[in-house]
Amino acid sequence: MKRVIVFGGGFAGLSAAVYLSENNFEVTLLEASPKLGGRAYSLLNDSQNDIYDNGQHILMGCYEETIAFLNKINSIDKLDIQESLSIPFVKRGGSIHKLDSKKYSYPLNLLHGFINYKALSLKERLKVADFFLDMLFCYSCDLKDKTVSEWLKCKKQSDNSIKAFWEILVVGALNTTIDNASAEIFEEVLERIFLTGSKSASILLPKVGLTQLYVEDSVQFIADRNAKINLSEKVIQIVTEGNTVTSIITDRNTYNDFDYVVAAIPALAFEKIKIISNQKFEFPDLQYSPIVNVHLWLKENPFIEQFYGLIDSKIHWVFNNGKHISLTTSAADILAKMENEKIVDEFSSELEKYFPIFHKEIIIDSKVVKEKRATFVPDVVSNQLRKNFILSFENLFFAGDWINTGLPSTIESAVLSGRLAASNVITSLK
């Protein structure tokens, strides 16, 4: 039986470990922290006896790799899956405008949804529909080296449609602004969501915390196949000879008896690892963007919908988790530098402006989670850097949302990268 060391215990590392252990590899999974989950994990609010996530994640029906992975580890039932796309968008003052595709069959359902999205004028709705029809029939601008902002101008999208629709999509999916985001990456996202079938655009929300959703069942899956999991063990050195990795040295052990290595950590994390090699290791010099999540526990929960998108607000999404609500802001560079108490106060005031049913007095507890390097910025530069990243080692493969999956820094990209790394290991034996 061939032996594989996987280091990094987030979605990418767990995905690689699951697929490798399923194919009769002896897997040792190393994780530097005392927990698995990487940048997607759950926490316990002891005073409220309630689980909350470090960051709320929206999955979508087009997340084929993630869905397959969750099916494999028998965790798919822990997702609440929409039948079709339905998003309530809220304007200041409390008016709700639904983007709803429940009527008709694909693709008329999506076209009907956009035509009836009354946060935009009829002319603006027709322009958005025309945008997607152009994509469907391949009438597009040249997107190489273009930003999303430049693409939208090319397609004559109005300032209001950008505010009330496009910015919400871009910031939510790419965690950066339309002026920074790569149009090439965004096109791939739009095609997967809107142009690959009705189910692709549906929203999938976890019914449990992220740790329960995928970490626990992944651990059980690979443990049943005799994998070893070592927590609080950090890789500090990689030793190579020619095109082969010969040693993995951690702060606790030295590993020499292995056939393959899967490195499933962020590109930035390699700066802390000493690499002894004749080859020059040049990892993509990516820029990173923060996400801020505010969790509020309420005396009584007045919210009805599972989630809301806020138009032209410092809060991008509100998620209704029953005992608490979670407020998410992407590309949160300014917020990430603010004191937690001030963030809670500002977000509470903002909620009052959008929801007449909400008042600050019903808040009984709060938690603020700042992921300062939540995702890399998928701009034009990073897109090229990822494409150019190639290292030729016979037994070393990389996984992580940052490798060239063609996707932005998402759960789907991470899971896909882990499966691809495992496939490369398997293929190398043939």
DSSP string, 237-291: EEEEETTEEEEEEESS-EE---SEEEE-S-GGGGGGSEEE-SS--------EEEE
pLDDT for res 319: 97
Three-state DSSP class for residue 88: strand
User: Phi/psi at 89 (nearest 5 deg)?
Assistant: -100, 140
What is the pLDDT at residue 197? 84
| pLDDT in the model for residue 49 | 97
Indicate the SS3 state at residue 350: helix
Is the Cβ–Cβ distance between 176 and 377 less than 8 Å? yes
User: Could you tell me if 65 and 423 are in contact, meaning their C-beta atoms sit under 8 angstroms apart?
Assistant: no
**Start and end residues for every CATH 3.90.660.10 domain found in the chain:** 288-376
| Of 245, 231, 204, the residue nearest 4 (C-alpha) | 245
| Model confidence, pTM | 0.94
What kind of architecture, by CATH, is found in domain 288-376?
Answer: Alpha-Beta Complex (3.90)
Contact present, 393 and 241 (Cβ < 8 Å)? no
Give the residue from 111, 120, 133 showing the smallest Cα distance to 167. Answer: 120
3-43+209-285+378-428 has which fold?
FAD/NAD(P)-binding domain (3.50.50)
Which residues of the chain form CATH 3.50.50.60? 3-43+209-285+378-428
Residue 53: beta bridge partners? 42
Residue with tokens 């996530």: 53
Is the separation of the CB atoms in 264 and 6 below 8 Å?
A: yes
Residues paired with 395 in a beta bridge? none
* pLDDT, one tens digit for every residue, the chain (430 residues): 899 999 999 999 999 999 999 999 999 999 999 999 999 999 999 999 999 999 888 899 999 999 999 999 999 999 999 988 999 999 999 999 999 988 778 878 888 888 889 999 999 999 998 898 888 776 666 788 999 999 999 999 999 999 999 999 999 999 999 999 999 999 999 999 998 887 899 999 999 999 999 999 999 999 999 999 999 999 999 999 999 999 999 999 999 999 999 999 999 999 999 999 988 888 999 999 999 999 999 999 999 999 999 999 999 999 999 999 999 999 999 999 999 999 999 999 999 999 999 999 999 999 999 999 999 999 999 999 999 998 889 999 999 999 999 999 999 999 999 999 999 999 988 6
Cα(first)–Cα(last) distance of the chain, in Å?
15
What residues contact residue 104 under an 8 Å CB cut-off, 6+ apart? 112
Residue 215 DSSP symbol = I
- Rounded to whole angstroms, the Cα distance separating 238 from 147 reads 37
